[in-house]
Amino acid sequence: MAGAKKIIRLLLLAVIGGVFAFAGGVKVLDPASFATDIDHYHLLPWPLIAGVALYLPWLECVCAGALLLKKFRAAALGLMLGMSLVFCAAMVSAAARGLNISCGCFGTGTGHLGLAIARDVLIMAAIAVCLVAEKKRTDSNQM
Amino acid sequence: MFEIRGRIKNRIRPAVLILLVALIPSLGAALWHPKRPSWSRPVAGNEIDLSTAVQWGARVLWVDARPRVEFDRGHIPGAVLLNEDEWDRLLDGFLDAWKRDAFVVVYCSSVSCDASHEVAARLKSEARIENIYVLKGGWETWQAQKK
């Protein structure tokens, strides 16, 4: 049972890491396009958009890499959950305002906002499960 | 009390470290990335210059807002014709070519023409498409760049 739980936890971590590494990697290659995608949300002023477009993809990649290190795993998951919450809020806000835009999550061809929101919620659930498991693991190590 | 403070420190320190590590390559990207965004909005309003549009590469959907005669004489490769005179007839063709993640760049003849702004405004208000830009200098600028 414990073995199965461990396998599920590792699989979830691999999926979360893969999603963030891919999302970050695609945007790292083309921050100018990503800046334009952020601009379409009409939520931030331009200089901040440029900064976010340069920083956020690298943060996604570093978080994905940090999942490999036990010491940094909980922190990386916490940051990933924070980022996903912000992405979700931005997409819900855009959908509520009737904006006809792509989410910009994975660079080109990222599809409909509704699908992106659903995907984001699933990722947040997976991160939350891993965070709880991580807390249990660290607590049991401390005892 | 000290134990709680210590626990919080232990949780926050790795997060701060991750945030700082991510800052290093992003500073490098801000200085040297060939596709780094500009710190000021590319051009006022929704006008963009040709270099920005070219940088977007395959994501650009060119829309030619000039009359059909001029379009037939020459246009940007891959451009879709959509002008005010034939709006109802041409709109379906545009919508077939449009993808949600495309950057629509509308152009007309030159700096002085307004057709591109009018077509862009109509696409925005009627089709509720957000990613619409107007090419500064239009077809003239495209031809000048080709020379």
pTM greater than 0.80: no
Chain A interface disruption, residue of B40, B101, B128, most A CBs within 10 A: B101
Q: Which pLDDT score, from 0 to 100, does residue B44 have?
A: 46
Chain A residues lying within 8 Å of B11, measured CB to CB:
74-75, 78
In 3D space, the residue among A79, A66, A31, A25 whose CA is nearest the CA of residue A52 turns out to be A31
- Does residue A143 form part of some domain? no
Residue A110 scores a pLDDT above 60: no
Which residue on chain B is closest to A48 by alpha carbon? B39
Residue B65 CB-density burial (10 A; 0-12 exposed, 13-18 middle, 19+ buried): buried
Collect all residues of chain B within an 8 Å Cβ-Cβ radius of residue A37. Answer: 101
What's the structural domain count of chain A?
Answer: 1
Contacts of A95 in chain B (CB under 8 A): none
- Cross-chain Cβ contact B15/A58 below 8 Å: no
- Structure token digits, residue A54: 């340069």
Segment B2-57, tens digit of pLDDT? 666 776 777 799 999 999 999 999 999 999 998 888 887 665 458 888 888 888 88
Q: Can you tell me the ipTM of this complex?
A: 0.92
What SS3 string covers chain B? CHHHHHHHHHHHHHHHHHHHHHHHHHHHHHHHCCCCCCCCCCCCCCEECHHHHHHCHHHEEEEECCCHHHHHHCCCCCCEECCCCCHHHHHHHHHHHCCCCCEEEEECCCCCCCHHHHHHHHHHHHCCECCEEEECCHHHHHHHHHC
Q: Does B98 touch chain A (CB under 8 A)?
A: no
- For the segment A10-63, what is each residue's pLDDT rounded down to a tens digit? 999 999 999 999 999 999 998 988 888 888 788 998 889 999 999 999 999 999
Domain-wise residue ranges, chain B: 1-36, 47-146
Among chain B residues, CA nearest to A54: B26
Report if residue A90 sits inside a domain: yes
> Which residues span the domain enclosing A79?
2-138
Position A74, amino acid: A
Name the class of domain B47-146.
alpha beta
pLDDT in tens, B50-82: 888 888 888 899 999 999 999 999 999 999 999
Residue A41 included in any domain = yes
The answer to whether residue A87 is domain-embedded is yes
Instruction: Give the closest of B12, B18, B37 to A76, CB-based.
Output: B18
